[in-house]
Structure 1
């Protein structure tokens, strides 16, 4: 009975926070949707200057991916291009500005998936690759494997002539202060568990793709792996069905298999992407987790769904673009 009450309450919270589906009359020529992390994101906790900065950063990422799509490029190239500016921007927890592990270093994760043939690539625990999403793409394109980990991933990236940096490149004062607070208080706030960035896209040929990249959880244990590099947990794409990128408390997203669950419900149960996303996130909430997803289906319809206070997010297609931050937008 207690579990049932909790699940009902969680579902109600999810319904209250999730963005409502948007009616669309026409199938888009192409479309890109991005997120910059979900969590405790409220107007009370946001300065006007910071809000402007986040909005501008989201727009930069959207334009980077849109440049590929409006020129007839692939969804795969577009999702990679869209997340690179977020990996380079210290506002987000991916690449430069990633959170610190408990040992005071950075271990980064990324994954990418092509909906055309469900080929995928991922890296976890990289410490020297400037742009982990490029390493994930190289794993997919240049190896027979799907995932490389730790030093092996760094060495593989170096062998592919990707840009290699010292681990200190990822440092920022803001993230170091968060680490010191968590170590001192021995308690993580919700913001310490979120910050993943991602993108999903459909191109003019109807192909789908998804990408996700993160610095992980503040003060995480050495070797901890979250959902972001795991195909089926945070990232999934299958042509004609859907493409998903997730952000949130990774342990719960792994246990639910959020990205694959959403696509399977669309494919096998005939649910809309909004319905399928709410079910999957409802399972996450019932277990005690929170976060969000961005999804595009095979017809180009899109969804933002989250059960947290907010999610940095945006969409762009041939008709224009939009960005949002808070749960009531």
Structure 2
């Protein structure tokens, strides 16, 4: 596990009285090494991340909702075998691909989640149907599949999800009697968080779990409050990492709650020092980054690793991770556009022109 924290400089959507939007995405975090990644493989990941980012950007730039942007960004990653979500998901101990996903709307904190589905082509779409069309929040296995069939969601056969390199990882894990961390090297969970022009936030996460998972293991990705959370009063968060630890810390909800309390303190401050001075302090305090780093440090203290992406009501789009790398990207309405893999690759200051 990495013995240090890797963070990003916050990038905000420029606000001159005009409506603005922001989006951040991730494709997993882990102990990847720059020396072991070929230029060709790096380019492949960068194209995949940019494709997902562009899909989410297009929704937001056209005035679409944060929820729709999150789904639009996640779907191409679920369809891409580079990532551990949908097609390309890891195998369970029994040799199956079992998929989890969750989504949350910060406007009303409505949420939907599914776990252990095996035939749903895009689990994030099923999670959203649970959110909008079900009286429940969390569905599992056969019941979730039945609900999907009743709603007409697209399905796919087992061979759609299965990939040879994931099968080899399971075989090596069994043959060498090693852990999932030793064969995966990274958590390929995918996610997106967004702020739309109406000021609404949303978050979504999708995964295949961990190689060789047994006994119906469920990680943090489909757990509202652990892997996914959105609240217009504070932030939207999607996590990727060692799920057992993210569940124990309640990472996504913990970050949003700490920020909400701090934002309420800033509101109280404005009555004493004036709204302009309070907002100026907020703008330059990097509260969201500090909170994210603090919660990720808590995960590391317990023994877990991974990372988070986060967007705030002010349009800050940022990352925090305690691994050597995290597949990630972010964009804002003022022209910022970045995709990155290893630590420290983002620009130090907001850019007025796209980087890619």
Q: TM-score range by the shorter chain?
A: over 0.9
The alignment status of 1:303 with 2:303, answered yes or no, reads: no
- 1:42, distance to aligned residue in structure 2 (A): 2.0
C-alpha deviations, 1:184-240, integer Å up to 9, x for none? Answer: 122123535611000000000110000000000000003100000000001000013
Match of 1:314 in 2: 329
5+ residue gaps, structure 2: 264-285, 346-356
For residue 38 of structure 2, the aligned residue among 47, 56, 69 is 47
Greater Rg, structure 1 or structure 2? 2
- Distance (whole Å) between structure 2 residues aligned to residue 186 and residue 281 of structure 1: 29
The alignment status of 1:215 with 2:208, answered yes or no, reads: yes
Structure 1 consecutive aligned stretches of length 4 or more whose deviation exceeds 3 Å? 20-28
- Distance (whole Å) between structure 2 residues aligned to residue 116 and residue 55 of structure 1: 32
SS in 2 for 1:123: strand
- 1:85, distance to aligned residue in structure 2 (A): 0.1
Contact 1:244 1:259 in 2 (8 A): yes
SS in 1 for 2:69: helix
- Distance (whole Å) between structure 1 residues aligned to residue 139 and residue 152 of structure 2: 16
Contact 1:237 1:243 in 2 (8 A): yes
C-alpha deviations, 1:130-172, integer Å up to 9, x for none? Answer: 1000100110011111010011111111111001122232100
The alignment status of 1:19 with 2:8, answered yes or no, reads: yes
Match of 2:341 in 1: 325
Match of 1:134 in 2: 125
Contact 2:22 2:195 in 1 (8 A): yes
Match of 2:141 in 1: 150
5+ residue gaps, structure 1: 1-8
For residue 259 of structure 1, the aligned residue among 242, 252, 262 is 252
For residue 29 of structure 2, the aligned residue among 32, 38, 41 is 38
For residue 65 of structure 2, the aligned residue among 61, 74, 92 is 74
Match of 2:297 in 1: 282
Contact 2:326 2:342 in 1 (8 A): yes
- Distance (whole Å) between structure 2 residues aligned to residue 112 and residue 283 of structure 1: 24
Match of 2:156 in 1: 165
The two structures have a TM-score, normalised by structure 2, of 0.86
Contact 1:69 1:204 in 2 (8 A): yes
SS in 2 for 1:90: coil
- 1:32, distance to aligned residue in structure 2 (A): 1.0
The alignment status of 1:272 with 2:287, answered yes or no, reads: yes
Match of 2:51 in 1: 60
- Distance (whole Å) between structure 1 residues aligned to residue 70 and residue 118 of structure 2: 22
Contact 1:101 1:222 in 2 (8 A): no
- Distance (whole Å) between structure 2 residues aligned to residue 22 and residue 29 of structure 1: 13
Match of 1:248 in 2: 241
The alignment status of 1:232 with 2:225, answered yes or no, reads: yes
- 1:22, distance to aligned residue in structure 2 (A): 4.4
- 1:21, distance to aligned residue in structure 2 (A): 3.4
- Tell me how large the CA RMSD over aligned residues is: 1.7
Contact 1:202 1:300 in 2 (8 A): yes
| 163-172 or 108-117, which deviates more | 163-172
Contact 1:192 1:218 in 2 (8 A): no
- Distance (whole Å) between structure 2 residues aligned to residue 135 and residue 252 of structure 1: 26
- Distance (whole Å) between structure 1 residues aligned to residue 10 and residue 22 of structure 2: 16
The two structures have a TM-score, normalised by structure 1, of 0.93
